[in-house]
Amino acid sequence: MLRTRRGRSRRERIANIDLTIHFTMNNLYSTRRQFLKQTTGLALSAAALPSLIPASALGKSGGVAAGSRIAVGCIGVGPQGQGDMGNFLNQKDAQVVAVCDVMASHLEQARNRVNQQYQNKDCATYNDFRELLARKDIDAVLIATPDHWHVLTALAAVRAGKDVYLEKPMGLNLTEDWALRKEVHAHKRVFQFGTQQRSSRTFRLACELVRNGCIGKLQHINVWAPASAPGGSTEVVPVPAGLNYDMWLGPAPFRPHTKDLCEAQGAAKTWWYISQYALGFIAGWGIHPMDIAVWGGGDLLSGPVELEGRGTFHAEGACDTATAWNVDMKFGSGVTMRFEGTPNWPNTDAPKCDIWAHADEWKKRYRRITDHGTAFEGTDGWVHVDRTGVNLQPESLIDRSEDSFKVQLTKSPDHARNFLDCVKSREETVCPIDESVYSDSLCHISDIALRLNRKLVWDPKKERFIDDEGANLRLLGRKMRAPWHL
């Protein structure tokens, strides 16, 4: 049996674990007007790296002592995970010390990249995340696994005393979200959600304009994002060499490996759109503009929420999540919201029957639109923001000084940087657990509204639907494949 340096077996170490951004935005613009008209981009810079101080140098309340290096482990190092990992590699006060993935090729790529960055061969590799979490010298983890693993992995990390940067979306159901929120608070862990748009000055300024009444009284919000893709191959094919398929499935029901399930490139992979592994893009993509709606709407998006919606689901192929949707919400404050899914066809053979209901109307109103966005409409104007910039009415809002705002939102120049700063200070990140769960919950209740196709009333304080037990059953956790459980 393999022994560790401290004499415990690997199995014993695993047993001790209680297992129950897309882009980063560094915006450097010379003037406000230039800043608002330019596209937010990914900025990475090389960094000189001081020597590593392990977790034994931790400060008060589990925080890292001033001047020490934060040891980071990365769990899930596919394309998205390696993109996030790169943001940590370029921080002077952090060092990636271990990577974990169930795909051998991803693991090798990540290890080589880390070792090349630090000019050594010190990066450890793991196929099982529990082994990585058993290391006492790791302070924080980046989790960028497939969606159905997000909460289980994050729960294990929190219970192992690690601070967590978790890629979006959160759980496959709200029971998972609530369990993670409870444990983050109970263990006093720092949490950062992968809704990186909050680390863009563009999005922050748009939300501050709304929160400070610059468009008058907020009345309505339009939110839109790419929907899930239809189709998807059902052809059973051999498991790719180097993939631990049983571990990839984990808590999900067993099913034969099918073509393009997890090894296809980009949006062609089908697990993104299969309900056994994800809620689909209503959460996977929708969480981005929805989170900005929540950030900009603030307390006006509290109170009972009346909602109803309709969506399109295709019976053909492996993909079974919504390929289009239109959800209308009305909050207790009187503010209304429309949440729509835009067509997403990664191949030319997909059916072209999904309709983006208000595309022409919004393009005319906001002067330009892309396949995603958040638009706030008030009594005196509107603010429309997406990853290409911001549109304003009146346009003179572009010259408003941020320093004059009474309400100032958290300033985060970089998502990884904000997380690391909070690991040291023990303060809340720009995307703290409570706000992240609330944003995620609006995506979940939207999906439930589509599937039930009836009017619902959501009580955000009790986190239940009012007088609808059928809808409440959809909040519950799914049965997981042994030995995994919540």
Residue 336, strand partner residues = 220, 330
Q: Which domain-ending residue is among 177, 198, 219? A: 198
**Residues 361 and 235 placed together within one structural domain of the fold:** yes
Nearest-angstrom CA–CA distance, 381 and 378: 5
Residue 172 inside a domain? The answer is: yes
Whether pLDDT at 2 is above 60: no
Whether pLDDT at 350 is above 80: no
**Residues 188 and 210 placed together within one structural domain of the fold:** no
8 Å CB contact between 61 and 189: no
Q: Which domain-ending residue is among 174, 198, 222? A: 198
Whether pLDDT at 271 is above 50: yes
pLDDT at 53: 47
pLDDT at 284: 97
**Residues 260 and 143 placed together within one structural domain of the fold:** no
Give pTM, 2 decimals.
Answer: 0.87
Answer with the residue of higher pLDDT: 329 or 34.
Answer: 329
Whether pLDDT at 186 is above 60: yes
pLDDT at 28: 31
Band (pLDDT 50/70/90 cuts) for residue 260 is: very high
In this prediction, residues 188-194 reach a mean pLDDT of 98
Instruction: State the angle between helix axes of 201-211 and 287-297 in degrees (0 to 180), rounded to the nearest 10.
Output: 40
In this prediction, residues 309-334 reach a mean pLDDT of 94
- The number of distinct structural domains making up the chain is 2
Residue 279 inside a domain? The answer is: yes
pLDDT at 15: 43
Among positive and negative, which fits the CA dihedral 437, 439, 444, 448?
positive
**Residues 290 and 301 placed together within one structural domain of the fold:** yes
**Least confidently predicted of 24-28, 270-274, 449-453:** 24-28
**Least confidently predicted of 31-35, 119-123, 252-256:** 31-35
**Residues 28 and 96 placed together within one structural domain of the fold:** yes
pLDDT at 347: 59
Residue 417 inside a domain? The answer is: no
Whether pLDDT at 437 is above 80: yes
**Residues 277 and 182 placed together within one structural domain of the fold:** no
Band (pLDDT 50/70/90 cuts) for residue 349 is: low
In this prediction, residues 100-106 reach a mean pLDDT of 97
Nearest-angstrom CA–CA distance, 179 and 356: 35
**Residues 87 and 229 placed together within one structural domain of the fold:** no
Residue 177 inside a domain? The answer is: yes
Could you tell me the CATH number of the domain that includes residue 361? 3.30.360.10
Could you tell me the CATH number of the domain that includes residue 147? 3.40.50.720
CA nearest 190: which of 353, 70, 315, 51? 70
**Residues 369 and 468 placed together within one structural domain of the fold:** yes
**Residues 343 and 285 placed together within one structural domain of the fold:** yes
Residue 170 inside a domain? The answer is: yes
pLDDT at 193: 98
pLDDT at 240: 94
Q: What single-letter amino acid sits at 10?
A: R
Structure confidence by residue, pLDDT tens digits, 76-101: 999 999 999 999 999 999 999 999 99
What are the b/e assignments for 139-157, b being 16+ CB within 10 Å? bbbbbbbbbbbbbbbbbbb
Structure confidence by residue, pLDDT tens digits, 40-64: 333 323 233 334 444 434 444 555 5
Whether pLDDT at 7 is above 50: no
Domain with 29, as residue range(s), is 16-198
Most confident of 9-13, 317-321, 352-356: 317-321
**Residues 174 and 297 placed together within one structural domain of the fold:** no
pLDDT at 348: 52
Residue 72 inside a domain? The answer is: yes
**Residues 32 and 74 placed together within one structural domain of the fold:** yes
Residue 3 inside a domain? The answer is: no
**Residues 232 and 184 placed together within one structural domain of the fold:** no
pLDDT at 24: 33
Average pLDDT, the chain: 88
Residue 2 inside a domain? The answer is: no
In this prediction, residues 277-285 reach a mean pLDDT of 97
Q: Which domain-ending residue is among 198, 213, 232? A: 198
